[in-house]
């Protein structure tokens, strides 16, 4: 008997999934465990599997659509001859339900519009869609009118709205504009409530056209990753009482160690960031209060040291996690970080590879950023923002010379980490950074 195949929740933070590509064509048979489609989540592209065998009878959504978990995206059955008319009718009802609900809403009262400001709302199909598909309906307010669209409309056929409304202007301003051929729609009013007044018209060039811009405005659709970043980091910023600790480290030992590794082990690829990951991991083993998470009932001190490494992607940020970093060699860390970062950029990380870290490092030193602060990635309690390694004038034993220095700033959740606890952690980190030979024993 034919049935729906629903959008699976392939990520713990997934609110919508983008159907990137169908992997099974209509009419194609498949076995249990087959990949039905590639789904883009907030962090990576994942395979959506089906755990039965059968035949795919109908695709219900197009590639590129954003669909919430649990919504039908295909129909499958055991035979190509199965009747799916009932399921198609049910799907159409479900698809049109948000539209019907929106149509049933009462119109905005006429009192919301000024009596002398008539409004015309016309339907148009722009060349470029101006809004993404989303659950239920997209809503916009135009002059008191609510405009909606159903999230199941094809991405290339999104119904938008163009609005032409009589601009607010004084009678004298309207007369002057008419005499001079000035388009009031192009002016910004400085009078009460944004009303265009005489002075606004007199300052405008003929036709009311603004100065030509070098570039046109561009609207970039928010990806699921960008939406999740915005939601989680806003929550972090609002809910976590954070304070910052900044320290400057002598990096001569780091520079010397990396130079020696490059000369003596040319086939081993180890970056400054790889050495820092090891130093942070070793420090966390000595400070369990920093390698911890807050909850209302207790503070959980994590048994493993799992370091998240912030990686910038075109669509946002992801933090692949190096598990048990304190137990791995510099060579192992270097190899693992390169592998994780590469697959992160290809959208091929598994969920467990970018979740459940215990501490995060965000390094912008390679982009010549000297100092910055970072937002904590919950449920972790701290994040280390790392600046560039610079050669600067320093005073040593009363003598002026040159030395390598690096600034780091740790953002701390004050519910878990007190000032003295955070400072003690940075002291230990200084020990390993300034004497990195300790990382080799």
Q: How far is CA 92 from CA 8, 88, 114, 137, 155, in A?
A: 20, 6, 39, 15, 17
Do 98 and 137 form a contact (C-beta atoms < 8 A)?
yes
DSSP character string of 275-323: HHHHHHHHHHHH-TTTSEEE-SS-EEE-SS--EEE-EEETTEEE--EET
DSSP for residue 367: G
Mark whether 414 is an active-site residue.
yes
Do 39 and 8 form a contact (C-beta atoms < 8 A)?
yes
Do 48 and 35 form a contact (C-beta atoms < 8 A)?
yes
Alpha-carbon gap, residue 179 to 193, rounded angstroms: 24
Cβ-proximal residues to 37 (8 Å cutoff; 6+ apart), any chain: 19, 20, 21, 22, 23, 24, 47, 48, 73, 74
Exactly one of 157, 183, 339, 418 is catalytic; which is it?
418
Alpha helices in 104-251 (DSSP H): 171-180, 198-203, 224-239
3-state secondary structure of 187: coil
Q: How far is CA 120 from CA 159, 331, 421, in A?
A: 16, 67, 63
Cβ-proximal residues to 217 (8 Å cutoff; 6+ apart), any chain: none
Angle between helices 330-345 and 272-286 (to 10 degrees): 110
Mark whether 185 is an active-site residue.
no
Within 13 A of 407's CA, how many CA atoms are on the CB side?
A: 13
At residue 154, what are phi and psi to the nearest 5 degrees? -55, 145
Q: How deeply is 315 buried, as exposed, middle or buried, from its count of CB atoms within 10 A (0-12, 13-18, 19+)?
A: middle
Question: Annotated catalytic sites, by residue?
Answer: 414, 418
């Amino acid at each position: 008997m034919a049935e729906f195949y629903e959008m699976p929740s392939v990520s713990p933070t997934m609110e919508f999934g983008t159907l990137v590509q169908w992997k099974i064509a209509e009419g194609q048979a498949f076995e249990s465990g087959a990949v039905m489609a590639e789904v883009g989540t907030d962090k990576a592209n994942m395979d959506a599997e089906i755990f039965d065998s059968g035949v795919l009878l109908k695709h219900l959504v197009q590639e590129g659509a954003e669909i919430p978990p649990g919504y039908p995206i295909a129909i499958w059955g055991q035979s190509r001859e199965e009747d799916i008319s009932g399921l198609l009718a049910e799907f159409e009802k479900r698809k049109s339900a948000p539209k019907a609900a929106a149509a049933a809403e009462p119109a905005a009262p006429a009192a919301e519009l000024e009596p002398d400001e008539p409004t015309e709302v016309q339907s148009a199909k722009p060349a470029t869609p101006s809004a993404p598909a989303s659950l239920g309906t997209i809503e916009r307010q135009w002059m008191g009118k609510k405009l909606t669209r159903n999230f199941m409309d094809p991405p290339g056929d999104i119904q938008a709205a163009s609005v032409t409304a009589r601009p607010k202007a004084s009678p004298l301003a309207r007369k002057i504009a008419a005499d001079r051929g000035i388009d009031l729609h192009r002016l910004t009013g400085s009078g009460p409530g944004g009303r265009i007044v005489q002075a606004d018209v007199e300052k405008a060039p003929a036709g009311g056209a603004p100065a030509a811009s070098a570039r046109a405005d561009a609207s970039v659709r928010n990806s699921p990753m960008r939406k999740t970043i915005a939601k989680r980091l806003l929550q972090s910023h609002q809910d976590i009482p954070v304070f910052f600790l900044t320290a400057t480290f002598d990096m001569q030992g780091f520079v010397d160690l990396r130079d020696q590794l490059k000369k003596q082990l040319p086939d081993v690829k180890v970056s400054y960031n790889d050495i820092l990951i090891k130093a942070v991991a070793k420090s966390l083993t000595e400070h369990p209060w920093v390698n911890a998470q807050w909850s209302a009932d207790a503070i959980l001190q994590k048994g493993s040291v799992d370091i998240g490494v912030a990686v910038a992607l075109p669509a946002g940020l992801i933090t692949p996690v190096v598990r048990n970093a304190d137990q791995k060699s510099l060579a192992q860390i270097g190899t693992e970080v390169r592998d994780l970062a590469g697959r992160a950029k290809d959208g091929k990380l598994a969920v467990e590879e970018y979740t459940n870290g215990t501490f995060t490092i965000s390094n912008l030193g390679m982009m010549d950023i000297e100092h910055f602060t970072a937002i904590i990635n919950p449920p972790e309690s701290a994040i280390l923002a790392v600046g560039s390694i610079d050669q600067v004038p320093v005073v040593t034993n009363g003598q002026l010379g040159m030395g390598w220095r690096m600034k780091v700033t740790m953002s701390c959740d004050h519910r878990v980490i007190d000032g003295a606890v955070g400072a003690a952690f940075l002291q230990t980190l200084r020990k390993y950074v300034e004497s990195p030979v300790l990382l080799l024993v």
